[in-house]
Amino acid sequence: MEAKKKLKVGCIGLGPRGAGLYELLIENPHVEAYAVCDQNTNKLEAFQYKMEVEKKITTIQYFTSIEEFLKSDVEAVIVATHVSTHSDISIQCLDAGKHVLCEIPNISSFEEAKKLNRAVQAHPELKFMVAENCCYWAFINSWKEMYENGLLGEVVYAESDYIHPHTELQKYDEEGKPILTWRSYLTSIHYLTHNLGPLLYILGDTCDEITGFIPDINPMEDVHPAPPNGVIMVRTKKGALIKIFIGFGVHHTVRHNFSMYGSKGSLEYRRRREEQGTLGFFENMPYTRSEVVIPINDAYAGADERGHGGADPKMLEAFVDCIIHNKKSPLDIEFGINISLPGLLGEQSFKEGGKTMKMPDIKDFV
């Protein structure tokens, strides 16, 4: 594709996430806002009003049918629908000749992983990328560079928490009946990609063995019948241990915590919001007796409040760049499966009494 030609971009799913990503995407000078699709006519009409009346963008076509949307000349598509539909819709897009940026988790079963991988391999001319925006946080890329430069040595142990207070997920209608969404039926550890993804991205590693643990307590069973809390333990191919806690049923503020401990240095993402930044302790800084404060957090210098501190625009820029310059997708199907399957294996492990599960080889999924 010629670099000067603008890429015709679209989006399927206009919930807050899909609409927000698409608004950021069409700010890229190399793309043309071309088409969007949502079965919910209220969402579609609200988005059309925002685009045409507020932003004066009149080039977008609006569809309620995915099939009709895919018949258009749209070239690259954000898939931002419910988790259970990510794989099937991505396959539809690929089979229709469209590049795909798929929200995470990109699969919700082993069979979906196989089908989606086969579809991606069947279309080598197309780019498939998973929208794991947390890999584009500023501190994650800083940590990656420090690790690759040897400051941490061999990473022995890493951990991350994704805490989302149950008070924000417990929603009721006017009659007091619980409002159930796709997330209500998603076992929380399936949604570990925001935490496992960045750690594997930093280490250039993959999972080898997975063990899952789910507590018996569910304080929000009426609105979240699926277990809202859980822990995954991972042994990586390089031999490190990773612990992930997903807590959607606890009383706390929204938070992502990250820590890495290596043979030559350690890093911790400061947990208190008023103390944003990274704590580092390094062997190559002799005589230090405590951690040093590195003034870098999730946001990039100069980034506005939109798009997770600039992570979303950088992710979208990488997606567009790999298409128009025919580069390898930075977060490809193999990466997507490697960060999504452990959640499924963790639940299977729990159901089998804590049995350690072996991560399958992605090559077996063709």
Structure tokens at 206: 């993959």
15: enclosing H helix or E strand: none
Say whether both 140 and 288 belong to one domain: yes
Q: Is residue 363 part of a domain?
A: no
Q: Is residue 173 part of a domain?
A: yes
Q: Is residue 149 part of a domain?
A: yes
Residue whose pair of structure tokens reads 């080039």 in the numeric block: 59
Say whether both 19 and 110 belong to one domain: yes
| Residue 179: per-residue pLDDT | 78
Say whether both 140 and 126 belong to one domain: no
Contact, 204 vs 334, CB < 8 A? Answer: no
Say whether both 321 and 242 belong to one domain: no
Residue whose pair of structure tokens reads 């990274």 in the numeric block: 278
Residue 348: CB atoms within 10 A of its CB come to 14
Residue 89: CB atoms within 10 A of its CB come to 21
Say whether both 78 and 15 belong to one domain: yes
Say whether both 240 and 330 belong to one domain: no
Contact, 159 vs 196, CB < 8 A? Answer: no
Say whether both 150 and 218 belong to one domain: yes
| Residue 168: per-residue pLDDT | 62
List the CATH number of the domain containing 285: 3.30.360.10
157: enclosing H helix or E strand: strand 155-163
Q: What is the reported pTM?
A: 0.93
Task: Give dist(CA 139, CA 277) in Å, integer.
Answer: 8
Q: Is residue 165 part of a domain?
A: yes
| Residue 309: per-residue pLDDT | 85
- Give the type of residue at 87: S
Q: Is residue 366 part of a domain?
A: no
315: enclosing H helix or E strand: helix 307-324
Say whether both 145 and 288 belong to one domain: yes
Beta bridge partners of 246: 162, 230
Q: Is residue 304 part of a domain?
A: no
Say whether both 316 and 176 belong to one domain: no
User: What's the domain count of the chain?
Assistant: 2
Say whether both 111 and 190 belong to one domain: no
With 0-12 CB in 10 A as exposed, 13-18 as middle and 19+ as buried, what is 274? exposed
| Residue 184: per-residue pLDDT | 83
Say whether both 168 and 292 belong to one domain: yes
| Residue 1: per-residue pLDDT | 43
Domain that holds residue 153: 135-297+350-358
Structure tokens at 277: 């930044």
CA torsion angle for 58, 64, 70, 73 (degrees, to 10)?
-10
Say whether both 211 and 317 belong to one domain: no
Residue whose pair of structure tokens reads 């022995």 in the numeric block: 156
List the CATH number of the domain containing 39: 3.40.50.720
Low-confidence ranges of the chain (pLDDT < 50): 1-3
